[in-house]
Amino acid sequence: MTDGILRPRRSVLYMPGANERALEKAKSIPTDALILDLEDSVAPDAKAEARDRVCAAATSGEYGYREIVIRTNGLGTEWHEADFAAAAKAGPDAILVPKVNSADEVLRLAAALETAGAPDRTKLWAMVETPIAFLHVAEIAAAHERLTVLVMGVNDLVNETYARHVPGRAPVLPALSLAILGARAAGKIILDGVYNDVKDEEGFLAEAQQGRDLGFDGKTLIHPSQVAPANAAFAPTDDEVEHAKVVIAAFEEAQAAGKGVVTVNGRMIENLHVRDAERILAVAGAIASR
């Protein structure tokens, strides 16, 4: 994958950029990544102050292993250009732009990163939130190598399709599956959207597991209480790790013996199963290294 499967992104927590206490607390939250937000969580009259605070946090070096991402206001808003220029100068791990609707917009954003002098390590993340974006998600994902992660904006999608938030997310599953196909075709990471009810632990667990089953790499979160269950849902289980080891060992043994057919517990094993086993072990190893 373009940005490396070895970097866990099981839990990606939004933190309000205007809230100094929240940014301080984030230093101790065991999330894989933090999105320091300048968009939805910040009132218009607090945008400039939040921008300075978030950029200072991104350059502080005080967040340890956590990947630091700055979410700007969207293209076309009065704050976007200032947000993007300041974020590029701060040089976080990534800059997340909401409501990216086309490959052309990705190209413009990638060029803007170069113009602003952002370091090479600062990647571009794009939120896919609108019907037009989901219909063009493959082109968006493949538009530029600096774009490494797609983030699902499920709330906006539900709103713009006149759907309803229901358990199981049936109204938006076709769009989410299409986004996963587009991300995988381009070799990019893809993150599931947020779960809105922070008090509904059972509902969150069900949706996180659904996201893992669908193929997402992790989930964006709106509250620290969601971090631990997301980390668990998107990590390989002990059984998966052990099975992966058995699959790889059996395949290597069969190859050494010149056998063309490999079975594990009565099931035929092919190259694709070995690749999946190697991915599981790589992810587990990366998580353990934290």
- pLDDT tens per residue, range 79-90: 999 999 999 999
Q: What is the pLDDT of residue 60?
A: 96
pLDDT digits (tens, 9 = 90+) for 99-133: 999 999 999 999 999 999 999 999 999 999 999 99
Handedness of CA 26, 12, 124, 37 (dihedral sign): negative
**Higher local confidence (pLDDT), 161 or 40:** 161
Lowest model confidence (mean pLDDT) among 51-55, 117-121, 171-175, 264-268: 264-268
Do residues 212 and 233 make contact, with C-beta atoms less than 8 angstroms apart? yes
For residue 1, the model assigns a pLDDT of 44
Q: Is 123 within 8 Å of 87 (Cβ atoms)?
A: no
Question: Angle 201-214/173-186 helices, nearest 10 degrees?
Answer: 50
- Rounded CA-CA distance 228/250 in Å is 34
Entry pTM: 0.94
- 3-state SS class at 150: strand
Rounded mean pLDDT, 74-99: 97
pLDDT mean across residues, the chain = 95
Task: Check residue 290 and give its pLDDT.
Answer: 81
d(CA 185, CA 270): 21
Q: Where are the chain's structural domains?
A: 11-233, 238-288
- pLDDT category, 261, cuts 50, 70, 90? confident
Instruction: HSE, CB side, 13 Å, CA atoms: give it for residue 262.
Output: 20
Q: How far is the CA of 274 from the CAs of 178, 179, 247, 277, in angstroms?
A: 25, 25, 7, 5
**Closest by Cα among 95, 98, 103 to 36:** 95
Let me know the angle formed at the C-alpha of 117 by 112 and 119, rounded to the nearest 5 degrees: 110
Per mean pLDDT, which range of 14-28, 88-102, 252-266 is the poorest? 252-266
* Mean pLDDT calculated for residue range 212-227: 98
CATH superfamily to which 11-233 belongs? Phosphoenolpyruvate-binding domains (3.20.20.60)
For 49, the token pair is: 């102050």
Per-residue pLDDT averaged across 3-22, rounded? 88
pLDDT attached to residue 257: 87
